[in-house]
Amino acid sequence: MALVSLKDMLQKADTGRYGVGNFDVFNVEQLIGVMQAQQEMRAPLILAYGPPFEPYSPMRHFARLLRSYAEETDLPVAIHLDHANTLDEVKQAVEAGFTSVMIDASALPYEENIQKTREVVAYCSPLGIPVEAELGHVGAEGDSDPAAYGLTDPSLAGEFVERTGIDALAVAIGNAHGVYKEKPWIRFDLLAAVRREVAVPLVLHGASGIPDEDIRRCTELGISKINIHTELLQSAMESIRRDIEAGSGYYDVFNHHVQAVRERTAEKMRLFGSEGKA
């Protein structure tokens, strides 16, 4: 099985009304933990990596590691570039072996978002690389300005998908990147309205910290790709703190870190309904 198309993976999830976990990773502890969780859950998996990770773990090297792990497993894996800002970043990722990309031009005005997304689709489409784009703006981690947040306008969604030719649409429905300071207010009404307007699979960014019952409702209403990053970091930090307090040695710190990521990932796969769907 190994590497599969994000498009096929998400279409199956869309039909089956479950979500596939997109786990953003940039080190080997996170990667091994996520891969172990996949084996345990027998779930489809999206291994994601974004340009902000470059200073920690350069893409040209890390992409090889992702592919090496993905190619050896018997379960479906897509290797996805998260939040590319430019066509150049997309090209580098495709050359490095990513099998799908997200172009995030959502901070730009509507027409510019369409133009930039179209450019990426024009490059990716002949190569068979599925493209995800965002309408409305979820905002960057640590973005404290609520005015920068833009809810997805359902009346533009159909046109956006049609004019760009994208394969998956990320929505801004009250979700946010990073840590939620208060309980998020997810606009299920907007999600349902967007779902009526477009046929492509829908993506939820910033799913770390959204309550389980809200995540379940999102998958029922048509979200089929769910992005998790912050909770992997939190589970790792909890584990590292416990080890420091216990005076553990480095190998134990490493093993417990992997274990913590594995457990959190498995929990999410179960929550998304993707357990046993590989």
Q: How far apart are the C-alpha atoms of 63 and 82, rounded to whole Å? A: 13
Residue bearing tokens 């996949």: 38
The CB-of-126 to Zn ion minimum distance in angstroms stands at: 26
The CB-of-242 to Zn ion minimum distance in angstroms stands at: 28
Tokens of 110: 């509507």
The CB-of-142 to Zn ion minimum distance in angstroms stands at: 13
Nearer to Zn ion, 137 or 205 (CB): 205
Catalytic: 214? no
Question: Does 137 sit near Zn ion (CB under 5 A)?
Answer: no
Q: How far apart are the C-alpha atoms of 218 and 34, rounded to whole Å? A: 22
E strand or H helix at 159, and its extent? helix 154-164
Residue bearing tokens 């997109």: 22
What's the residue count for the chain? 278
Nearer to Zn ion, 186 or 278 (CB): 186
Please, which of residues 181-210 interact with Zn ion by CB under 5 A? 205
Catalytic residue among 14, 24, 74, 82: 82
Scored b (16 or more CB within 10 A) or e, 184-222 reads bebbeebbebbbebbebbbbbbbbbbbeeebbebbbebb
The CB-of-248 to Zn ion minimum distance in angstroms stands at: 33
Which string of x and - marks every residue 204-243 that binds Zn ion (by CB under 5 A)?
A: -x--------------------------------------
Under the rule (CB under 5 A), what is the footprint of Zn ion?
A: 205
Q: Which residues are catalytic?
A: 82
